[in-house]
């Protein structure tokens, strides 16, 4: 198991299915993990969305730097 590294690499290389796999594989666990800190499932869901948004945004920034 590569912990999503191959999916992320494919996403960075232009395959948007990579981010779909990452979200599918890690969304539930990340929500539960964050909920352990904030003790509010709605906030944990928002933080999870923010996390995936940041991943997508970072890809755009990497493309602009090239």
Query: What is the predicted pLDDT for the residue at 58?
Result: 81
What is the residue-level pLDDT of the chain in tens, covering all 66 positions?
A: 578 889 988 998 989 899 999 999 999 999 999 999 999 999 999 999 999 999 998 876 555 555
Q: Identify the burial level of 51 via C-beta atoms within 10 angstroms of its C-beta, where 0-12 means exposed, 13-18 middle and 19 or more buried.
A: middle
Name the pTM for this structure: 0.80
For residue 3, the model assigns a pLDDT of 80
Residue 2 has a pLDDT of 76
């Amino acid at each position: 198991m590569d912990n999503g590294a191959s999916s992320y690499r494919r996403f960075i290389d232009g395959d948007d299915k990579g981010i779909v796999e990452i979200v599918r594989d890690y969304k539930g666990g990340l929500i539960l993990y964050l909920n352990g800190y904030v003790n509010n499932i709605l906030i944990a869901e928002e933080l999870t969305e923010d996390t995936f948004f940041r991943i997508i945004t970072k890809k755009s920034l990497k493309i602009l730097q090239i």
